[in-house]
């Protein structure tokens, strides 16, 4: 198989910070790739009216985001609408970025993953890798003939539920968004209007999922949220409270890795996100140029 292409700058997240970072790195003629969640949406899409973005009084958040995306598309930046599951150093001194079905490679990375608003469930953290996972396609084969629950806040879990139903005995699909899907597979049970409360373990592995109205016995629980804690995405990333620790130049503690937007701290605002995206991109470009890369 051909070696994957190496990008100069990989931007993770396609909110205002990520779009600004991608645009500014592309203006500086770097080879950029942009990863967004499955539907490339941002928190700003939920704003009915934005009054504090310079020059655009009263614009809806959705219109503004659409214009940001259109601007970035003018630069032919590949936009991969997949969630990055893990970022790791590879043996060539580059970054590997794992998505569901492949690995991409880049010389620098800019994290613009927003703020995770959903808390983790009771029992979740202690059972990660012991039945709790965030990518069914990656870990699915371990659950052949077993029962799993998919807790889906984003609709990304729909495809995963169908995939798991192909070889699991039973799949509970816990719908946490507003558009419950219809499944043709008889072994998928749709649970809606419920609230996950706790993941239970026995002998160190997952044994059940407690919901507010019932408890289901399961061997695995896969959770699809808008954002993960950044330290789960990048092992070794230094945090300050809930935020990624950055310098004024938006550098993280990992050389070649930058961060921008809500994930670096308050105020959670558009103008700050766009500005930080630009600073991160320009410093990623400077890092590449100084290293002669």
Ligand X SMILES: Cc1cc2nc3c(=O)[nH]c(=O)nc-3n(C[C@H](O)[C@H](O)[C@H](O)COP(=O)(O)OP(=O)(O)OC[C@H]3O[C@@H](n4cnc5c(N)ncnc54)[C@H](O)[C@@H]3O)c2cc1C
Residue 288: CA atoms inside 13 Å, Cβ hemisphere, count?
A: 24
Phi, psi of 69 (to 5 degrees): -65, -45
- The residue from 7, 16, 64, 252 that contacts ligand X (CB under 6 A) is 16
- The residue from 37, 123, 140, 220 that contacts ligand X (CB under 6 A) is 37
Instruction: Determine if 220 is a binding residue for ligand X (CB under 6 A).
Output: no
DSSP state of 264: G
Site string for ligand X, 179-218 (x = CB under 6 A): ----------------------------------------
- The residue from 47, 60, 137, 185 that contacts ligand X (CB under 6 A) is 47
Say whether the peptide bond before residue 267 is cis (omega within 30 degrees of 0): yes
- The residue from 10, 161, 262, 282 that contacts ligand X (CB under 6 A) is 262
- Total residues at interface with ligand X (CB under 6 A): 33
**Cβ closest to ligand X, residue 125 vs residue 217:** 125
Residue 123: count other Cβ atoms within 10 Å of its Cβ. 18
Segment near ligand X (CB under 6 A), from 14-22, 155-163, 179-187, 203-211?
14-22
Among residues 16, 13, 11, 14, the alpha carbon closest in space to that of 30 is found at 11
Instruction: Determine if 109 is a binding residue for ligand X (CB under 6 A).
Output: no
Buried b (16+ CB within 10 A) or exposed e, 29-61: ebbbbbbbbbebbbbbbebeebeebeeeeebbb
Instruction: Determine if 17 is a binding residue for ligand X (CB under 6 A).
Output: yes
Check if the beta carbon of residue 232 is closer than 8 Å to that of residue 225. Answer: no
**Cβ closest to ligand X, residue 211 vs residue 274:** 274
- The residue from 7, 35, 173, 258 that contacts ligand X (CB under 6 A) is 35
Segment near ligand X (CB under 6 A), from 47-55, 69-77, 127-135, 235-243?
47-55
Instruction: Determine if 233 is a binding residue for ligand X (CB under 6 A).
Output: yes
Instruction: Determine if 88 is a binding residue for ligand X (CB under 6 A).
Output: no
Interface with ligand X in residues 126-145 (CB under 6 A): none
- The residue from 227, 254, 281, 285 that contacts ligand X (CB under 6 A) is 227
- The residue from 6, 27, 31, 41 that contacts ligand X (CB under 6 A) is 41
Segment near ligand X (CB under 6 A), from 31-39, 137-145, 176-184, 198-206?
31-39
- Alpha-carbon span 216 to 285, nearest angstrom: 50
Phi, psi of 271 (to 5 degrees): -60, -45
Helix runs in 100-229, H state only: 136-139, 156-165
- Alpha-carbon span 84 to 183, nearest angstrom: 26
Instruction: Determine if 265 is a binding residue for ligand X (CB under 6 A).
Output: no
**Cβ closest to ligand X, residue 185 vs residue 269:** 269
Check if the beta carbon of residue 164 is closer than 8 Å to that of residue 148. Answer: yes
Residue 87 CB, nearest approach to ligand X (Å): 9
Which residues lie below 8 Å from residue 178, measured CB to CB, with a gap of 6+?
Answer: none
Which residues of this protein are in contact with ligand X, per CB under 6 A?
Answer: 12-18, 35-37, 41-44, 46-47, 50, 52, 83-84, 112-114, 226-227, 233, 261-262, 268-271, 273
């Amino acid at each position: 198989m051909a070696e994957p292409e190496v990008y100069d700058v990989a931007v993770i997240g396609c909110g205002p910070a990520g779009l600004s970072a991608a645009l500014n790195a592309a203006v500086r003629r770097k080879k950029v790739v942009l990863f967004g969640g499955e539907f490339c949406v941002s928190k700003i899409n939920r704003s009915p009216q934005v009054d504090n973005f310079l020059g655009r009084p009263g614009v809806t958040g959705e219109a503004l985001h659409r214009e940001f995306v259109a601007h970035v598309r003018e630069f032919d930046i590949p936009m991969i609408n997949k969630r990055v599951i893990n970022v790791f150093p590879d043996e060539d001194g580059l970054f590997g970025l794992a998505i569901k079905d492949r690995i991409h490679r880049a010389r620098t990375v800019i994290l613009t993953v927003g703020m995770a608003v959903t808390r983790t469930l009771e029992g979740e953290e202690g059972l990660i890798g012991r039945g709790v996972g965030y990518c069914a396609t990656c870990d699915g084969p371990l659950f052949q003939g077993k029962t799993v629950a998919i807790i889906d806040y984003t609709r990304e879990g729909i495809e995963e539920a169908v995939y798991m139903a192909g070889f699991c005995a039973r799949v509970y699909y816990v719908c946490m968004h507003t558009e419950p899907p219809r499944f043709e597979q008889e072994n998928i049970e749709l649970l809606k209007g419920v609230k996950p409360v706790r993941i239970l373990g026995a002998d160190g592995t997952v044994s059940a999922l407690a919901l507010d109205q019932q408890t289901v016995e399961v061997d695995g629980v896969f959770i699809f949220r808008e954002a993960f804690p950044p330290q789960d995405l990048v092992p070794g990333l230094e945090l300050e409270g809930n935020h990624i620790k950055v310098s004024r130049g938006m550098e993280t503690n990992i050389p070649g890795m930058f961060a921008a937007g809500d994930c670096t701290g308050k105020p959670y605002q558009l103008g700050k996100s766009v500005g930080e995206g630009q600073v991160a991109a320009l410093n990623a470009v400077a890092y590449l140029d100084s290293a002669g890369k």
